[in-house]
Amino acid sequence: MLKTYKLRIHKIFYYRSPYVFIWVITVILFCNFILTFRMVIRNFMDREDIAESYPGIVFLPLKKYLKEFSIVGYYTNTISSNPWTDVNAMWAYQQAQYALSPVLLDFNNLNHQFIVFNVTSAKVLLEKIQEIQAIPILDLKNGIALVKRKNQ
């Protein structure tokens, strides 16, 4: 004859409560891991790729101020005897031109309303701003600044 057992709910949880608790925690952790992994993958797929070594990335904050202009001045004090053969001066100029396009930069011309400065120190920047009677619009604290001439 078969023996029948009366299962009572309190006895099941009484004897197996540590195992049930561990099993429930394991299932919850596994589900959280799966959901977190899906969110990470979704965020990775939806993000915009921004190159860390983008040429001229230091000039990008100036772009929003120059939207309505087609030509602005560009000044640097890093040139040697011939600016068109100085690799360092032209490298920085080309990066600025690339980052700020479609705005054209007029190399070492201070006769425009807005001028992008790329100088070696803040002292040189202040001296040149006072010399041309300009107002600083944005100073990036690394020798790069955007200024506006007062008289134009």
**Domain coordinates of the chain in residue numbers?**
1-47, 57-149
- Asked if pLDDT for residue 1 goes beyond 80, the answer is no
- Span 56-78, average pLDDT: 89
- Sheet strands side by side (includes 71-76): 104-107, 71-76, 114-118, 144-149, 134-139
- Asked if pLDDT for residue 23 goes beyond 90, the answer is no
- Asked if pLDDT for residue 60 goes beyond 70, the answer is yes
Q: Would strands 104-107 and 71-76 be described as parallel, antiparallel, or unpaired?
A: parallel
pTM for the model stands at 0.62
- Span 104-123, average pLDDT: 90
User: What DSSP character marks residue 125?
Assistant: H
The burial of 103, by beta-carbon neighbours within 10 Å (0-12 exposed, 13-18 middle, 19 or more buried), is given as: buried
